[in-house]
Structure formats: structure tokens, C-alpha cells
Amino acid sequence: MEDLTQEEWTEQLAKDDNAVILDVRTDAEVADGIIAGAKHIDIYKGQEFISEIEALDKSKNYYVYCRSGNRSGQACAIMDQLGFANAYNLEGGMLDWTGDVVDL
């Protein structure tokens, strides 16, 4: 797991052909907008969250975010424990995000 600033996260993501963006916020938070192309898996769903994460392709690079960067950091730590080699946490999360968002 690696914590990246918004600038580092977006630059690395733009150059990564093997990237998956992962939004771990709640449904209510996602209703306010989501980063384009992101897959939504709510970290508060407990075992269901773990099951959905385990079903993901471990060969991909995951760019993970939440509202503030805290839950996405936890999600990255869980992903590390599950054998994911590349999980990148967006520091500051959506609170600091200045990029585009789209409605679901």
C-alpha cells in the first residue's frame, strides 16, 4: 500500500494501463458524485466488502479513495493482507479532490 497525494495519484493513474479506480464510500456519499470509471464497493458492508474485494483481479493496480482518505487507507491495508501487490490510497480523499466527478 502506498499513500499518494492527489497530484501523485492522478499522474500515476494517467500513465497506468492496468489501473482500476475503487470508491469505498457509502451509497449516500456516492450519490454526490463519483470519479469517472470508478468501481464502487462500500467498505462498511463488512464481509460482503471482503468477498467483493477477493473477487477482484490481483494483477491490476488499484487506486482507492473515500471521503477523507481514512477508509480507503483501511481498504488498501485489507487488500495488502489479501495479496494485492499494488493498492494506492488517495490522501485527503474526495474532500481534497479537485478533479471531475460524475453522477451514477
Give the catalytic positions in this structure.
66
Name the E strands within 12-65. Answer: 19-23, 39-40, 61-65
Contacts of 100 (CB under 8 A, 6+ apart): 35, 36
Phi, psi angles (nearest 5°) of residue 20:
-130, 130
Look up residue 94 and give its three cell numbers. Answer: 474526495
